[in-house]
Amino acid sequence: MSLGSWLRGLAARPYRSVSAEEAAALVEDGALLLDVRTRPEWTAGHAPRARHIPLAQLPARLSELPAGRVIITCCRSGARSARAARLLARQGHDVANLSGGMVAWARAGLGLVGTSGRRPGRVA
């Protein structure tokens, strides 16, 4: 193995990236959408069937995640969820990261709900 291919292997992501539309289809097929944003961001608006575990709590709450099920990580823009995806992939999970995060989800016209239930959610 050459040094270049070895370095590329180190830099390779252990997870895949998916569009909002692909993420929605995966959720329909049984994947778990894991929102790693903060509580105020989650409260403002989130995907209807998402599960919330803030990124800071994720290492301590790994046991709450299902084995053998695709997990799609999401945050506001995709950066924090990429860190979550990397962590989960290292733990052996089949992981995808929502490219563009909840901003992309909302732009794709996919639903957002707020925890108050009084109005549609928004990306905070």
DSSP string, 26-80: HHHTT-EEEE-S-HHHHHH-B-TT-EE--GGGGGGGGGGSPTTS-EEEE-SSSHH
For 44-76, write each residue's pLDDT tens digit. 999 999 999 999 999 999 999 999 999 999 999
Looking at the chain, the whole-number percentage of residues with pLDDT higher than 90 is 75
pLDDT value for 14: 85
Query: CA–CA separation, 75 vs 87, rounded Å?
Result: 15
Give the pLDDT score at 111: 86
Active site residue 75: yes
Cα separation, 105 vs 96, whole angstroms? 14
pLDDT in tens, 79-105: 999 999 999 999 999 999 999 999 999
The tokens for 13 are 């992501």
Residue 67, CA atoms < 13 Å, CB-side half-sphere: 3
User: Domain boundaries in the chain?
Assistant: 15-107
Strand-pair category, 32-35 with 95-98 = unpaired
Model pLDDT, residue 6: 46
pLDDT of residue 4: 57
Q: Which of 75, 85, 87, 106 is catalytic?
A: 75
| Fold that domain 15-107 belongs to in CATH | Oxidized Rhodanese; domain 1 (3.40.250)
